[in-house]
Amino acid sequence: MRRTYADRSAMHRTVRTSLSRTRPNLKAPKKMPYFVFVMLFMLLFFFQQWASRAARRSHQIPLENFVEEVATHDGLIPSKEGPSQKLPQWIQSYLRWHQSVRAQFPGDLLFTDPAAPNLLLRTCLGLCGGLNDRLGQLPWDLYLANQTNRILLLYWHRPVPLESFLIPNELDWTVPKTRPGFFPSPGSRIVSRGDMVLARDIPELFADFNSEQPTDQFWSTHMDVAINRATAGHYRNHKVLRHRLLGHLNEDQLEVRLRTLGETDMIHWTESFGNIFRMFFRPAAAIQGELNRVFSDLQITAGSYSAVHCRVRHPKASPAHVFVKGKNDAYPADKAGLPWIGETQAFAIATATKALKCARQAAQNLSEPTYFLSDSNDLVRYIAHELTSSKFVSANATILHADPVHSSALQTVDSMRIVARESSLENAHIDLQKGREPAAYYATFVDLLLAVNARCVTYGIGYYAVLATKISGTKCKNLYQEEAWGGSENKRNNTH
C-alpha cells in the first residue's frame, strides 16, 4: 500500500515545490555574480513564506476570538490550543497542509488554478443516510484524503447544504460559493436538476467497486486499487473525485490499516474522534441560538444532566421484514412519522419506559435532569410534557392507571426529573424527509448537541446518540436495546 501516510512531511515538501512553480524559470544575466543570484532567490523565498502565513492568518478564525464570541453552551468549543493539537501527528500534519493550500488558493482558485492540488469531495447527491452515516465517517474521510494527497471537502446537495447547520472551525471543508453545480440559484432552496448533472459527472473514487455495501474483497483489495488509481493511475489527472463511503460498521478495517502504519490511536472510540469533529465543525448561528434558548428555558448546564434517546421509527426497531406504516399509509414510519395510536403508540411508550428505567439506574441522583429526545415528537410530548403535567394526569387518570403501558410510564416519569425542549415539530430525518426548509432540520442538530453536552447518555436503536457520545467522549453510556436484526456489535462492544 502506498505509504504517503507514514511520511506526510515529505509529501508537503513536494506539494510546496509544485505550488511555487507558477512561472518559467528565468536565467540570470551572464554577468550577475553568483552570490547576488542566491540572495535574490532567498529574498523571494522568504517573501513567499511571509505572504503564505499572512494569507493563512486572514483565512482562519482566531481561536481566542472564537472562544470569546460563542456562548458557553456550545459543547464544541475547542481549548485555546485548538482540538487539533491533541490529535495524532499524521492528522496534525494533514491539517497544516490543508490550511496552507486553502490559504494559497482562496475561493475558486482551489478548483481552477493548475498548481492547486487535487480534491476529494464527500458529497450527498440523494439518499446518504442520517447524521451518523454522514458525519460519523470523518476518520475515514481524513484517511482517504491523506492517502490520495487530496484536499478534503464536504458538501450536501440534499436536503440542504451542511453549512446551514455546521460551519468550519480549524479545517475549511467548504466548497467555494462560486462553483457551478453546488449552490442553489437566488430564490431557490435546492440545486437545480441541470446543476446536479455537473455534480454527478464528478468521477467517483470507488467507481467500479461496491462501496455502498462493501464486501471483504472491497476492504482487502478494491480500496487499495482505488487509492492507487487516484494517485498513480488514470484518475490522478482528475481534479476532483467524490465518494460517500459508509464505513461506520467497518471501523475495524480502518483500525487494521492504522496499525499497519504503526499507529496506536484507533480514533473511532477514543478522544480523537471528538477532537476531529471539533476540528471540522462549530454550530452555525441559527443552531447555536436554538441551543442557547433550550439551555435557558430548561435551566440546565453542560454536564449537569443525562440524556435518553428513543429511536422508535427506525426499521430495526421492529423484526426483519416487518413494514411499519407511517402516518401516511403509503410510506414507512421513518419517512412519514410513527402513528400515535393503538399498537404503535403502545410500542413507543413501552420503549421509552424501558429506556428511562435503564437511565435511572445510572443516575447520580434522581433529582438530576434527564433530557428526553426522540425521533417521534408525539413521544416527547407525552413523556416529557403531558405525564409531567398534573392537569393532564388528572384529566386522563382512568386510562393512565388502568392501562399497564401507560401506568408503567407514569410511575417511571414520576420517579425522575424529565425535561425536553418544545416538541410541536418533529426531528425531521435529513435523508428520508427531504424537501423542507433548513429550519425544519434544526431540531435534529440541536438535540445532537444537547446529547453531546450530557453527562451520561442512554440509547438503543440507531447510531444518532452514539455519535453524540463519540463527540463528547463521555464514559457513561447505556445500551437499553439492540437492533432487532443485527448491527449493534460496535455499540455493544463500546458501551460501558
pLDDT, tens digit (0-9, with 9 covering 90-100), for 413-472: 999 999 999 987 777 878 777 778 889 999 999 999 999 999 999 999 999 999 999 999
Is residue 274 located within the same domain as residue 350?
A: no
Q: What is the pLDDT of residue 171?
A: 98
- The yes-or-no verdict on residue 290 having pLDDT over 90 is yes
Is residue 266 located within the same domain as residue 189?
A: yes
Q: What is the pLDDT of residue 20?
A: 30
Last residue of one domain, picked from the residues 228, 257, 283: 283
- The yes-or-no verdict on residue 75 having pLDDT over 70 is no
Q: What are 19-69's pLDDT values in tens digits?
A: 232 322 222 334 445 554 445 555 554 444 444 333 333 322 222 222 223
In a domain, 190, yes or no: yes
Is residue 62 located within the same domain as residue 186?
A: yes
Q: What are 335-390's pLDDT values in tens digits?
A: 878 999 999 999 999 999 999 999 999 888 889 999 999 999 999 999 999 999 99
Report CA-CA distances (Å) from 11 to 134, 146, 221. 28, 10, 24
Where would I find the H helices in 32-77?
34-59, 63-69
Task: Give percent of the chain above pLDDT 90.
Answer: 61
Q: What is the pLDDT of residue 251?
A: 92
Is residue 88 located within the same domain as residue 209?
A: yes
Is residue 70 located within the same domain as residue 138?
A: yes
Is residue 89 located within the same domain as residue 220?
A: yes
By DSSP bridging, strand 166-168 and strand 306-310 are unpaired
Would you place residue 111 in the very low, low, confident or very high pLDDT band (cuts 50, 70, 90)?
Answer: very high
Q: What are 194-234's pLDDT values in tens digits?
A: 888 888 899 999 999 999 889 999 999 999 999 999 999 99
**C-alpha–C-alpha distance, residues 153 and 420, integer Å:** 35
Which residue has 437511565 as its cell numbers?
359
Report whether 351 contacts 310 (CB < 8 A): yes
By DSSP bridging, strand 281-283 and strand 166-168 are antiparallel
Last residue of one domain, picked from the residues 222, 250, 283: 283
Phi first, then psi, for residue 184 (nearest 5°) are -65, 150
Report whether 131 contacts 112 (CB < 8 A): no
Residue type, 236: R
In a domain, 21, yes or no: no
Query: Counting Cβ atoms within 10 Å, is residue 451 exposed (0-12), middle (13-18) or buried (19+)?
Result: buried
Q: Which of 56-65, 89-98, 309-318 has the lowest mean pLDDT?
A: 56-65
Is residue 350 located within the same domain as residue 486?
A: yes
In a domain, 22, yes or no: no
Is residue 149 located within the same domain as residue 194?
A: yes
In a domain, 430, yes or no: yes
DSSP-derived secondary structure letter, 61: P
Question: Which position has the higher pLDDT, 398 or 81?
Answer: 398
For residue 98, give its domain range.
5-16+30-283
